[in-house]
Amino acid sequence: MDRFNTAPRAAVEAALLTCCGSRRWARRVADHRPYPGLDALLAAADEASYDLSPAEISDALAGEPSPVAPAGAPPAARTALTAAHAAYESNFGHAFVISLDGRRPEEYLDHVLAGIHARLSHDPDHERAVAADELRRIARARIVHLLSHPQGHRAAKKPTKTRKPARNQAKNV
């Protein structure tokens, strides 16, 4: 936590952008340093996520990768996941996001497929709210990972073309 609180602002923002693709969110969380502990940081991250505009949520969603089938998944499962993602993206115009925090790896595929199928019935406004909440949960998990594995965090989430934090800065947090 000390490293997070004392790192240069640009490095903290770059690291936070690997947690959530909203620049305003990253700035806001970085601006409220120092945090007395992880709980305070996570509360601030939650608060900042609740204030995102629809356009900022869209920006954050644009940088999110779709969940992929685990290595060794049967071809039928990979096909089902690809088809479900295509249907979701066609309906809502962005990648499907879901927090897998607290799930065992062997549950990931079933949880993702069930989530996509359940959420395909949502109207766009309701789904936007659900996706925003999932982004908030994902960001929380990524922050925890960032603070507990500062050198290995980049591997947990690959950078995308919409989010380009400097690699050397993100490693310094």
Bridge-partner residues for 160, per DSSP?
163
Q: Which among 12, 22, 2, 31 is positioned nearest to 131, based on CA atoms? A: 22
Q: pLDDT tens digit string along 107-136?
A: 999 999 999 999 999 999 999 999 999 999
Please report the pLDDT score of residue 152 as a whole number.
54
Classify 160 as helix, strand or coil.
Answer: strand
CA distances from 94 to 57, 89, 91, 151 (A): 11, 5, 9, 29
Longest CA–CA separation in the chain, Å: 49
Tell me the two tokens of residue 104: 């065992």
Q: What are phi and psi of 169, to 5 degrees?
A: -75, -40
- Predicted confidence band of residue 86 (pLDDT cuts 50, 70, 90): very high
> What letter does residue 25 receive in the DSSP assignment?
H
Q: Measure the CA–CA gap between 173 and 168, rounded to whole angstroms.
A: 10
134 and 102 in contact (C-beta within 8 Å)?
Answer: no
CA distances from 61 to 6, 42, 50 (A): 29, 20, 15
Please report the pLDDT score of residue 67 as a whole number.
80
Tell me the two tokens of residue 168: 């050397």
User: Which has more confidence, 126 or 172?
Assistant: 126
User: Which has more confidence, 27 or 153?
Assistant: 27
